[in-house]
């Protein structure tokens, strides 16, 4: 995760004032019963408004930032640091060092959670410096811990196929289950992107057309990308839209959502997780799978099939190709394993 970009000082100051005036019911963390609040509390609120409204952080990311900065504010309150200008590098470093063992009074965090918290704090101080709330950025030289590289966990094409074939039945919910899992593997979509889809996000040619089948996906920061839909997923979607979705939508109040639950509302991420787990059990796949496993498998299988890493980057919606290149390590590891098992002089006796 990278720290959100910051506008120029004059633009940021003007936009904060506008948001503060136009955001009804926006509460300020740390406000007292008498209505007063510290400069730190007001500054955190302004930053959260900035990254939420102007930078377009995803709702889940914004909630994580709120939790992280609430913890940082509690640390500053305990140190009686109520104004941004009074915070120095020593204070930021002390907070960062205490995240892993909880000496600040909070829950000890793992490496990745601690890194995210420090990224939020770095973004906050950069914003304050540009706003003129502090003369310098005391967090500029405080870096998040580097987590060890974790290779994505993909499953084989055979296991994916087994899961997809075991996914559904010829009922409205079964047709939905098959369409959902085929869609996830065909497009590499994040689960949040898939459950957030509306029917109008599909671009499907009719019987008289010969164009591509596409979907508009909205990723992190509401960034839009267009991704093709494969033939297997297209057939599953067509069956669901014709014979499954109408029966489900009739149970609700009408919704534009593509994938519906049994009550006719938008399906949840948790429900999709359960659908996949059940399908994997039916297929006899013992690997630990999640919706993100299908995304990892989508990318890995594309690269193994010869796809260019830049193309896979676009399909996945990665801002940086560096993020996508981790999948090349997976395919390289697979090649090494095949070589070691197959070549007569690969291993010493």
| Catalytic annotation, residues | 190, 220, 292, 295, 318, 327
Rounded alpha-carbon distances, angstroms, from residue 163 to 48, 209, 260: 41, 31, 21
Cα–Cα distance measured from residue 300 to residue 324, given in angstroms and rounded to the nearest whole number: 10
Structure tokens at 175: 């047709």
- What's the distance, Cα to Cα, between the start and end of the chain in Å? 45
**Residue 2, class by beta-carbon neighbours within 10 Å (0-12 exposed, 13-18 middle, 19+ buried)?**
exposed
Contacting residues for 276 by C-beta, under 8 A, at least 6 apart? 163, 181, 289, 290, 291, 293, 294
Exposed e or buried b per residue across 130-141, where buried means at least 16 C-beta atoms within 10 angstroms of its C-beta: bbebbeebbbee
CA 165 vs CA 113, 153, 213, 330: distances in Å: 37, 21, 22, 25
């Amino acid at each position: 995760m990278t720290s959100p970009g910051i506008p120029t000082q004059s633009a940021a100051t003007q936009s904060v004032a506008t948001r503060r005036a136009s955001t009804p019911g926006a509460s300020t963390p740390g406000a007292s019963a008498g209505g007063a609040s510290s400069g730190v509390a007001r500054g955190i609120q302004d930053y959260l408004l900035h990254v939420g409204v102007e930078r377009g952080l995803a709702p889940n990311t914004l909630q994580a930032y709120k939790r992280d900065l609430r913890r940082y504010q509690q640390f500053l309150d305990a140190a009686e640091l109520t104004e941004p200008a009074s915070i120095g590098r020593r204070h930021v470093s002390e907070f960062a060092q205490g995240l892993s063992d909880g000496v600040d009074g909070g829950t000890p965090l793992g490496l990745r959670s601690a890194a995210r918290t420090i990224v939020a704090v770095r973004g906050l101080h950069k914003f304050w410096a540009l706003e003129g709330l502090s003369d310098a950025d005391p967090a500029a030289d405080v870096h998040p811990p580097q987590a060890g590289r974790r290779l994505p966990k993909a499953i084989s094409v055979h296991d994916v196929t087994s899961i997809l074939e075991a996914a559904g039945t010829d009922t409205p919910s079964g047709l939905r289950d098959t369409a959902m899992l085929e869609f996830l593997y065909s497009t590499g979509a994040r689960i949040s992107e898939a459950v957030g889809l509306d029917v109008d996000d599909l671009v499907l040619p009719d019987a008289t057309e010969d164009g591509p089948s596409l979907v508009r996906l909205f990723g992190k920061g509401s960034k839009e990308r267009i991704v093709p839909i494969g033939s297997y997923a297209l057939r599953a979607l067509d069956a669901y839209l014709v014979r499954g979705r109408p029966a489900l939508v009739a149970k609700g109040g009408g919704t534009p959502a593509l994938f519906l639950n049994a009550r006719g509302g938008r399906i949840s991420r948790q429900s999709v997780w359960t659908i996949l787990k059940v399908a994997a059990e039916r297929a006899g796949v013992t690997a630990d799978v999640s919706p993100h496993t299908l995304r990892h498998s989508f990318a890995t299988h594309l690269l193994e099939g010869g796809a260019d890493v830049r193309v896979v980057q676009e399909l996945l919606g990665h801002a940086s190709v560096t993020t996508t290149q981790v999948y090349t390590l997976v395919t390289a590891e697979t090649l090494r394993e095949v070589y070691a098992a197959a070549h007569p002089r690969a291993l010493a006796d």
